[in-house]
Chain A
Amino acid sequence: MIMQMHLKGLMFDPYNNAYIVILREEDRSEMLPIWVGKAEAGSISLALENVAPPRPMTHDFMKSVLDVYDAKVISVVITDLSENTYFAKIHMTYEDSEYTVDARPSDAIALALRCNAPIFASETVIRKQNTEELEQWLENLKPEDFGKLDS
């Protein structure tokens, strides 16, 4: 069983010097935080703000490769969580065939946003991650931690 997730936010985690992408399931208010690197966060942020950079960024280039061959991203799925690492799959179609490609969630999300493809998470992943832990972490945040992304 998979659930459709919506990107709710992108924030800086000063304790781990990383960024957190927050995905949320609307009906059941399930939250899925995914820690990503600075470059990946920057790429997701550009897609969210709909900013066209002067030169194509990595995921713009990735999309160009698919566009040139008329390959379409159907959906991306956050499939697994193991030792605090998330795994994702990108589903695409090309010449009437469907393909599934393994990816990091950050690449999958950055690409999905550019291709207007839906983002899903498997129920197992959501069950595995402890939401309480995130809530506690959120409660400990100070207002100054909510800075604006610098990239």
Chain B
Amino acid sequence: MMSESEPSAKHKLVEFKVDRVIHEASTDTRILVLTRVESPNDTFPIWVGAAEGSAIKLAMDTMVTPRPMSHDLIKSFLEHLGVAVRRIVITDVKSSTYYATVYLENKGVERTIDARPSDAISLALRAPCPIYITQDVLARRSNDNLDAWLAKMESKNLGTPEVQET
């Protein structure tokens, strides 16, 4: 009984939303903070590059840039192909690196494409479509003292324009 129910529980999807993008000044990376839709105190951070962080921030701020950014271009391609982005799922984590899958639908047929979480989330915000993390990935994250660390990070960055408060 247990062994039968385990795989489905492992692949159960939990919905998250992008809460903010934090500028990590010491390494010039960005921390993308996702929060669980059903319990906003449950946070899930993902480290991304500066360019990836700004692509996500532009989408969060619904900024319209004079020229299409990379993910606007992907959205534009999908529109021409008549393809809808249904959802994106963070499916795996291997040595602190997350992997994501983008679910596309065209004429009732679903197709999946592997992506980095930053690309998947950038596209999800522009689509827009829901963002999920598998139960398995949530169980395997190692966030010892993460909340304390995040609090410290944010108090340090408080007031700087890079901090996105929503």
Q: What is the interface size of chain A, counting residues whose CB is below 8 A from a CB of the partner? A: 28
Q: Is the CB of A101 within 8 A of B76?
A: yes
Q: Is the CB of A56 within 8 A of B68?
A: no
Instruction: Give the residue of B51, B99, B113 whose beta carbon is less than 8 angstroms from that of A68.
Output: B113
Q: Is the CB of B70 within 8 A of A55?
A: no
Which of B2-10, B77-85, B149-157 is the interface stretch?
B77-85
- CB-defined contacts of A107 to chain B, threshold 8 Å: 68, 70, 73
User: Known: A56-B116, A99-B80. Contact between A62 and B106, CB under 8 A?
Assistant: no
* Most interface-central of B50, B73, B102 (chain A CB within 10 A): B73
* Most interface-central of B70, B80, B83 (chain A CB within 10 A): B70
B15 within 8 A of partner (CB): no
A7 within 8 A of partner (CB): no
Segment 62-93 of A: residues with Cβ below 8 Å from B: 62, 64-66, 68-69, 71, 85, 87, 90, 92
Task: Return A68 CB to nearest CB of chain B, in Å.
Answer: 5
Q: What is the interface size of chain B, counting residues whose CB is below 8 A from a CB of the partner? A: 29
B104 within 8 A of partner (CB): yes
Q: What total count of A-B pairs have CB within 8 Å?
A: 82
Task: Return B53 CB to nearest CB of chain A, in Å.
Answer: 10
- CB-defined contacts of B158 to chain A, threshold 8 Å: none
Q: How far is the CA of A62 from the CA of B119 in the complex (A)?
A: 10
Q: Is the CB of B74 within 8 A of A65?
A: yes
Segment 100-127 of B: residues with Cβ below 8 Å from A: 102, 104, 106, 111, 113-116, 119
Task: Return A115 CB to nearest CB of chain B, in Å.
Answer: 12
A37 within 8 A of partner (CB): yes
Smallest CB-CB separation from A82: which chain B residue? Answer: B66
Chief secondary structure at chain A's binding surface: mixed
Q: How far is the CA of A92 from the CA of B52 in the complex (A)?
A: 26
Q: Is the CB of B97 within 8 A of A37?
A: no
Q: Is the CB of A66 within 8 A of B104?
A: no
Given contacts A59-B70, A68-B111, A85-B66, 15 further A-B contacts (CB under 8 A): A55-B99, A64-B113, A65-B77, A65-B78, A65-B81, A65-B83, A65-B113, A68-B104, A69-B83, A71-B80, A71-B81, A94-B81, A101-B77, A104-B73, A107-B70
Q: A interface vs B, CB < 8 Å?
A: 37-40, 55-59, 61-62, 64-66, 68-69, 71, 85, 87, 90, 92, 94, 99, 101-104, 107
